[in-house]
Amino acid sequence: MSEIALGGSVSWKEEVLLHDASKTVVERSQKFGSAPGLDSPERTVIEESWSFEVPGAGKKVTWTTGFSRPPEASCLMLMQLNFLNGVPYIATSPAGTLAYNHWGRPNPPYVFFKHDGKGWQRIALAEFPAPFVESNVVVGGRPNPAKLSGVILSITQVKEANRPLDTYLRQIVRQPITHGDGVWISPVMVYDGKGSWTSPGGFKAPAPFKPATVN
């Protein structure tokens, strides 16, 4: 606990059930910043990384995301890792309103990537393989990360951790979401290039659906 109390980091492993019923293991690590206040001992997660081997390739790939204000950080929650013909794919979801606006307000609220052998490239929903459905890592942060240090979470434990989540975070939805409470109903926010985000139509401005774009 002293390492986390000073900022520090912690790491553990998670078993990942792949779309073809095979499994792999991913090593997950978190780096921590300062506590938000004297009355809150929990350190904020400022960065997460996942490292894993590509089946049959004998090479390791890493995905890293930060959680400071965008655009300084990507602010994406990993939902799924999978492979097709030796190519790694991941599905993520923006963590909060600013991240959702930063990534172009995609609906359904996902950002997808595949690894081209050199780095991660963003792809459209239509390019994310249809057999990739279920979230297979623990989505989002969890309290008391020190308790996870050095452990291996089983596939069963990963599924149980995700069980309370909304459906769209437990499995990939391939149609725009038009109901419920989520980032898709948040106000449109625009970055001013100087470190601030503003809502041109006011805080309660409607959030019209705009198709996701790939840069």
pLDDT given for residue 144 in this prediction: 66
pLDDT at 44 over 90: no
* C-alpha dihedral sign at 167, 12, 95, 215: negative
Q: Which residue type does 1 have?
A: M
DSSP for 125-144, written as a single string: GGGS-TT--B--S--S--S-
Q: Select the more confidently predicted residue: 35 or 122.
A: 122
Radius of gyration of the chain (CA): 18
pLDDT digits (tens, 9 = 90+) for 127-140: 999 999 999 999 98
pLDDT given at position 199: 84
CA 71 – CA 58 distance, rounded (Å): 34
For 31, other C-beta atoms within 10 Å of its C-beta total: 19
Longest dimension (CA), the chain: 52
Amino acid identity for residue 160 in this structure: E
What is the rounded distance in angstroms from the CA atom of residue 139 to the CA atom of residue 145? 14
CA of 90: how far to CAs of 53, 64, 93, 127, 159, in Å? Answer: 14, 12, 10, 11, 17
Q: Nearest Cα to 212, choosing from 69, 118, 91?
A: 91
Distance in angstroms (rounded) separating the CA atoms of residues 131 and 56: 20
What are the structural domain ranges in the chain?
Answer: 2-198
Total-model pTM: 0.85
The pLDDT of residue 1: 36
Q: What does the pLDDT look like over 93-107, one tens digit per residue?
A: 999 999 999 999 999
Average pLDDT over residues 103-119: 96
- How many residues belong to the chain? 215
